[in-house]
Amino acid sequence: MSDVTTPTEEWTKPLPTPDDVNRDYWQAGTEGRLLIQACPHCGHRQFYPRALCTSCAGEPEWLECTGRGTVHTFTIVRQMGMRAFRNELPYVVAMIELDEGPLIMGNVTDCDPESVRIGLPVEVHFINAADDVGVPMWRPVPAR
């Protein structure tokens, strides 16, 4: 279980849409759990959630992740028109390589954007965008 933050202000960023395929994924986020899919037939792991395994076309199942990964690549966004994001400039958008394999997009928070590097170990935390939507975010793993 990872940190889950429920913001006091209304979520004004784009809001994901739970559906029959991804409902468990977004719901798990509100409980501090990160899910990807794994195929019971061929073992393939994938993100984002789909109704089929992209490798063998079988029916994938959920796999709960450790919530750890590394920064595979990233950018520091310094210009963005949409107000909800403009207020947070500059911020990091990264592709995180999960310990379980797949890549997932997210913001790297709780650090100086200039300190982010490819290979940086990160851990997941969540922000509740709605009652049924927990959005995964990432922060550097604290030094021990």
> Which chain residues interact with another protein by CB under 8 A?
10-17, 19, 22, 47-48, 72-85, 88, 91, 93-95, 103-107, 118, 129, 135
Which C-beta is closer to another protein: that of 39 or that of 136?
Answer: 136
Which C-beta is closer to another protein: that of 2 or that of 107?
Answer: 107
What's the closest the beta carbon of residue 17 comes to another protein, in angstroms?
A: 4
How do strand 45-46 and strand 133-140 relate by DSSP bridges? unpaired
DSSP 108: E
Rounded distance, CA 47 to CA 36, Å?
Answer: 6
DSSP character string of 56-92 = T----EEEE--SEEEEEEEEEE----SHHHHTT-SEE
Which C-beta is closer to another protein: that of 74 or that of 144?
Answer: 74
Which C-beta is closer to another protein: that of 78 or that of 144?
Answer: 78
What's the closest the beta carbon of residue 28 comes to another protein, in angstroms?
A: 14
Which C-beta is closer to another protein: that of 66 or that of 75?
Answer: 75
What's the closest the beta carbon of residue 44 comes to another protein, in angstroms?
A: 14
What's the closest the beta carbon of residue 47 comes to another protein, in angstroms?
A: 8
What's the closest the beta carbon of residue 31 comes to another protein, in angstroms?
A: 18
For 123, the token pair is 């851990």
Q: Is-contact 120 1, C-beta < 8 A?
A: no
Q: How far is CA 101 from CA 45, 46, 57, 121, 130, in A?
A: 7, 8, 19, 14, 28
